[in-house]
Amino acid sequence: MRYQINTKYRIKERLELLTHEEYKVALEEIPKALKISPRTFLRYMYTRVDDDYSMPADHLARLARFFKCQIEEMLNYDPQPITAKETNGRGRNGLVKKLRLVK
């Protein structure tokens, strides 16, 4: 089932495949396992594709293992690759900024 709001991650879709009881337990236990607040977990669930916010890769990997799928299957979008053309002429600082490695 697709949602009107295009979320970045397919967490809600995966949760909805669980039984009602499993769903309730997962909503409570997954944030504890990831050592995050329930509010942060909800933010992961409802982050939109066009939002700059992203969950850490280790959280995404652990969720994929929980749901028995590949990390790519947790994404609701196709990440754009960084091409050589985008980095040419900008030097190291340009790439560092492009990758958001500095504020």
Cβ neighbours of 37 (radius 10 Å)? 11
3-state helix, strand, coil in the chain (%, to 5): 55, 5, 45
Report the CATH fold assignment for 11-78. Answer: 434 Repressor (Amino-terminal Domain) (1.10.260)
pLDDT per residue as tens digits for the range 6-34: 899 999 999 999 999 999 999 999 999 99
pLDDT per residue as tens digits for the range 39-58: 999 999 999 998 989 999 99
The band of 3, judged by pLDDT with boundaries at 50, 70 and 90, is very low
The pTM of this model reads 0.72
Mean pLDDT, the chain, integer: 85
Would you list the domain boundaries of the chain? 11-78
Measure the CA dihedral 10/71/54/92, to 10°: -150
